[in-house]
Structure 1
């Protein structure tokens, strides 16, 4: 069982299209603050990339990409592990999945393959009103 030392949840939205860079920067600031600068062992560049991929997918494939759309971001931190959860605004028509093998040359669909390759663990959770949460964990 994991006991999370800190949990931070925030709704991020925009009048226009949600800014992926701002979400990434806020997650980074939250992690730095929650870990009080003790970042040794965590690869925050990988965390940044995974956040970008998941938020981009939410914008492209759900109501999060509409004007005024957004995401709920939750950051959970323990001494040895961190977890980031991103919940979209729904309307995607299906659960986020890694594309079938052989789709690697398409212009889209690689985001969850990146998350799968970098995360210690990751997954999806169905939520209310057709919303989905995509989460990942990283360890020291």
Structure 2
């Protein structure tokens, strides 16, 4: 069982189009504050990439991408690991899955494969009203 030292949750939304860069920047600021400058050992480039992939999926495949839409972002931190959760606004046709097969030239469909390859652990959680949370964990 992991005991998280800090848990930060915030809603990221926009009156217009939700910006993946803003979500990524907020996660990075939260981590910098939570870890008090002690980010050594975490590959934050990998964290940025995974946040981008999950946020992009939420915007593309759920009501999070509609005007006024948003995501709930939770960052959990312990001395040896961190976890990021992104919950969409629901309204998708299905749940987040890694595609069984993707053609070589497809422009999409690999985001969760990237997360699976970079995260120590990851998964999805169903929520109420058709919402979904995609999370990942990395260790120092």
For the aligned pair, the TM-score class normalised by the smaller chain equals over 0.9
CA distance in 2, matches of 1:89, 1:40: 33
- Any idea what SS the aligned residue of 1:67 has? coil
CA distance in 2, matches of 1:28, 1:104: 32
Look up the match of 2:120. Answer: 120
Q: CA RMSD in A?
A: 0.8
Look up the match of 1:76. Answer: 76
TM-score between both structures, scaled by the size of structure 1:
0.98
Encode CA deviations 1:94-126: one digit per residue, 9 max, x unaligned: 110001134343111111011011000000000
Q: Does 1:14 align with 2:5?
A: no
**Would the aligned equivalents of 1:104 and 1:110 in 2 still touch at CA under 8 Å?**
no
- Any idea what SS the aligned residue of 1:94 has? coil
List aligned pairs for 1:1-140, cutoff 5 A: 1-140=1-140
CA distance in 1, matches of 2:98, 2:22: 25
Encode CA deviations 1:44-103: one digit per residue, 9 max, x unaligned: 000000000000000000000000000000000000000000000001111100011343
- Structure 1 stretches lacking a partner, 5+ long: none
- Any idea what SS the aligned residue of 1:53 has? helix
| Pair 1:102–1:21, CA change in 2 (3 A) | closer
CA distance in 2, matches of 1:92, 1:104: 25
Q: Deviation above 4 Å: which 4+ runs of structure 1?
A: none
TM-score between both structures, scaled by the size of structure 2:
0.98
**Would the aligned equivalents of 1:12 and 1:70 in 2 still touch at CA under 8 Å?**
yes
